[in-house]
Amino acid sequence: MSPTSDPVIGVLALQGDVEEHLTALASLGVLARPVRRAAELARLDGIVIPGGESTTICRLLDVLDLRTALTGGLQAGLPAFGSCAGMIVLARDILDGRPDQRPLGAIDMVVRRNAFGRQVDSFERSVAVAGLDSPMTGVFIRAPWVEEAGPGVEVLAEVDGHPVAVRQGSVLATAFHPEVGDDLRLHEMFLAMVSGG
Is 68 in a helix, a strand, or coil? helix
Q: Kindly state the smallest distance separating residue 84's Cβ from ligand GLN, in Å.
A: 3
Q: What angle do CA 182, 87, 63 make, to 5 degrees?
A: 110
Cα distance between residue 114 and residue 85, in whole Å: 10
Q: Specify whether 84 is catalytic.
A: yes
Q: Which CB, 24 or 45, lies closer to ligand GLN?
A: 24
Interacting residue ranges for ligand GLN, rule: CB under 6 A: 51-54, 84-85, 88, 113-114, 141-142
Q: Which CB, 8 or 53, lies closer to ligand GLN?
A: 53
Q: Specify whether 187 is catalytic.
A: no
Cα distance between residue 143 and residue 122, in whole Å: 8
Q: Specify whether 21 is catalytic.
A: no
Cα distance between residue 178 and residue 51, in whole Å: 10
Annotated binding-site members for L-glutamine = 52-54, 113, 141-142
Specify whether the backbone of 184 is left (phi greater than 0), alpha (psi in -120 to 50) or beta: alpha
Q: Kindly state the smallest distance separating residue 42's Cβ from ligand GLN, in Å.
A: 27
Q: Kindly state the smallest distance separating residue 72's Cβ from ligand GLN, in Å.
A: 23
Q: Which residues are catalytic?
A: 84, 177, 179
